[in-house]
Amino acid sequence: MSPVAQKGEGLVSNLNSFHLIQTCLHSKARAGELLTPHGTVPTPVFLPVGSQGAIKTLTPEEVKDVGIAMVLANTYHLYLRPGIGVIEKMGGLHKFMSWDRAILTDSGGYQIFSLAPLRRVNDEGVIFRSHIDGSQHHITPELIIQFQETLGADIIMALDECPAYDDSFEKVQMAMDRTHRWAERCQKAQKHHGQALYAIVQGGVFPQLRRQSAEYLTSLEFPGYAIGGLSIGEPKKVTQAMIDETVALLPESKPRYLMGVGSPEDIIEAVARGIDMFDSALPTRVARNGALFTWQGRHNIRNAAYSQMEQPIVPDCDCYACHNFSAAYLHHLFSCDELLAYRLATIHNLSFISNLMAKIRDAILNGTFLSFKDSFLANYQSTDEQTRLSQKQKWLKSRNLRR
């Protein structure tokens, strides 16, 4: 028996909808299409993070060339710089950043709540001080929707409260309840229904809260659902358990978006659990530090072993970096702190992720996803769990110190 179940749902006419094509019978992996005003996006899909309206070091054409169909921009950052009014005057976010494909804007909830010493939260909204100049701002769910409608993104996110990984049950429950109330207010505030408004399931690492959040938010009939508050310091097994708890209660006919996850091994595990959409700054951030994705794992191009390697870092990779340059040349650029190093490494990592998503989708469609998953994970050496958590904490600490 083929491990693929044909869904047979006819293509819908709504410009912001989800079309489920096939589901793997022996896992929850799915292939589908997001229909947006700026094109059809095949799923599963990875969204590179362009918080400021740009993917760091790359032009929009370079982002397209590696196969990216949708990017993420951040409402919090764009609100502070250059300002929502400036972008509106320039014709909206698509025109402002010269990107004619789909855009998802995050509400900025995670960024605001990571400013712990600089913000105060209550049921009305959040009062925070800018990490740029210390100016004070008051954000409400209604304003977040107004800002995102003005930006003109294809998919917009409700404002949520993201608790810390180690918060108590009581604190996480309070944040979850507030997230639910804010989701309702966002839904009521929405005026431009050509944009798809997604709700964000919270609940920390507590299974009963994850289930409660999923049940409550799905009762409100949003066009899509995100899973937030994960991959912020918890072990991977906990992340995967929370995905399982949540996905079981999300409607099959709507897209499922796992926020903040971008390592190849985590993506493939989450796809197997029924996730359709991903975003993360990880591929571009580690690229600028010299960590390049290969089918065997992440390799540090700064290592001396690459100083005389004539082949590209991934010999069969067709990205611009691998097609034109040797690993030795990239090693040289990083050794000299040449800016081209960051561009080439970013092109490679995004190309790798784009190719991975295409291979995953093809495997789902032709009924070989489980064998593809097993083969990939058998060959891919993941970053050691303790090292990964340590690196994550160092990154969070350095970011907070800059703020």
Phi, psi for residue 4 in degrees, rounded to 5: -120, 130
What span, in angstroms and rounded, lies between the C-alpha atoms of 346 and 342? 6
Residue 374 falls in the annotated catalytic set: no
What span, in angstroms and rounded, lies between the C-alpha atoms of 108 and 158? 9
Residue of 65, 276, 279, 362 marked catalytic: 279
Residue from 81, 88, 89, 85 nearest 52 by CA? 81
Residue from 170, 197, 165 nearest 182 by CA? 197
What span, in angstroms and rounded, lies between the C-alpha atoms of 279 and 258? 7
Preceding amide of 82 cis, omega within 30 = yes
H/E stretch holding 232 reads: none
The number of angstroms, rounded, from the C-alpha of 50 to the middle of its chain's C-alpha atoms is 10
Residue type at 137 in one-letter notation: H
Classify residue 382 by its DSSP letter.
P
What span, in angstroms and rounded, lies between the C-alpha atoms of 141 and 305? 52
Residue of 106, 154, 160, 266 marked catalytic: 106
H/E stretch holding 224 reads: strand 224-227
Residue 279 falls in the annotated catalytic set: yes
Angle at the Cα of 350 (from 50 to 51), degrees rounded to 5?
10
Residues 6+ apart with CB under 8 A from 258: 226, 227, 230, 243, 270, 275, 277, 278
Residue from 361, 284, 354 nearest 318 by CA? 354
224-227 and 297-300 as β-strands: parallel, antiparallel, unpaired?
A: unpaired
C-alpha radius of gyration, the chain, whole number: 21
| Residue in this structure with the two tokens 């010269």, named with its chain if needed | 98
Catalytic residue ranges: 106, 279
